[in-house]
């Protein structure tokens, strides 16, 4: 599968000044910008920027950024699921994961996350993918936002809906370990029925494996 990437851009006014949402960008384009020091949700800012540069080099990797002038204040990543995750079980070329979406706390309220997802889906080639996001409450910034788990879940669902991702059932043990966790899914209109059926097996892998085990008896 050839992973075609088409650049899109949105500029809008905020109380912080104009914010530019753009991408996907390759690693050389990303290097032109400064990475905001508060983007530390996953690791120190400099290490996270290195991770983004690495993802941008993957054939399927997509990095979109939000920036104010030459400073990156938010980003979203897409890539194939980690080989250690259940979602890589069938090596589906048309399954990609929204791996991370982050914005600097200094710019909360500027609709950065939802606009990152909107611009992501402006690329027509995204209609060829099943896009997933695994949401775990222990990754949420409950302390910084002062929201309850369930209020944060509502905010997260609204944000993901901006990119067309909706909650979907699964028997994944980590996700079902807490009722606030969820799997978010967007199935592109060009995804073949065969891939959708394979993805349904992935969502209910325990049930699928149990059925195979029973049939093998």
* Domain covering 8-216 in this structure, CATH number: 3.40.630.30
> pTM of the full predicted structure?
0.93
Q: What is the pLDDT of residues 115-139, one digit of tens each?
A: 999 999 999 999 999 999 999 999 8
Residue 144 pLDDT > 60, yes or no?
A: yes
Mind listing the pLDDT tens digit for each residue in 78-113? Answer: 999 999 999 999 999 999 999 999 999 999 999 999
Res. 208 pLDDT band, cuts 50 70 90: low
Show the tokens assigned to 94. 């048309």
Q: Which pLDDT value is given to residue 209?
A: 62
**Across 31-46, average pLDDT:** 96
Length of the chain: 217
**Which tens digits make up the pLDDT trace of 145-190?**
899 999 999 999 999 999 999 999 999 999 999 999 999 999 999 9
Q: How far apart are CA 23 and CA 160, in angstroms?
A: 18
Domain boundaries, the chain: 8-216
């Amino acid at each position: 599968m050839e992973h075609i990437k088409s650049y899109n851009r949105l500029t809008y006014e905020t109380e912080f000044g104009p914010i530019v949402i753009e991408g996907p960008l390759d690693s050389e384009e990303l290097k032109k910008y400064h990475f905001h020091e508060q983007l530390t949700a996953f690791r120190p800012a400099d290490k996270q920027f290195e991770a983004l540069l690495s993802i941008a080099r993957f054939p399927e990797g997509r990095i979109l950024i939000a920036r104010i002038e030459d400073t990156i204040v938010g980003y979203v990543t897409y890539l194939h699921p980690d080989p250690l995750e259940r979602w890589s079980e069938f090596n589906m070329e048309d399954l990609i994961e929204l791996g991370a979406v982050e914005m600097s706390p200094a710019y909360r309220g500027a609709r950065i996350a939802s606009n990152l997802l909107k611009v992501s889906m402006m690329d027509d080639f995204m209609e060829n993918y099943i896009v997933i996001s695994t949401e775990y409450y222990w990754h949420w910034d409950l302390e910084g936002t002062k929201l309850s788990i369930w209020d944060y879940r509502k905010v997260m669902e609204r944000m993901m809906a901006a990119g067309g991702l909706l909650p979907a059932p699964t028997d994944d043990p980590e996700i079902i370990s807490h009722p606030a966790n969820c799997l978010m899914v967007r199935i592109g209109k060009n995804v073949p029925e065969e891939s959708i059926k394979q993805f349904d097996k992935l969502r209910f892998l325990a049930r699928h494996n149990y059925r195979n085990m029973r049939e093998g008896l």
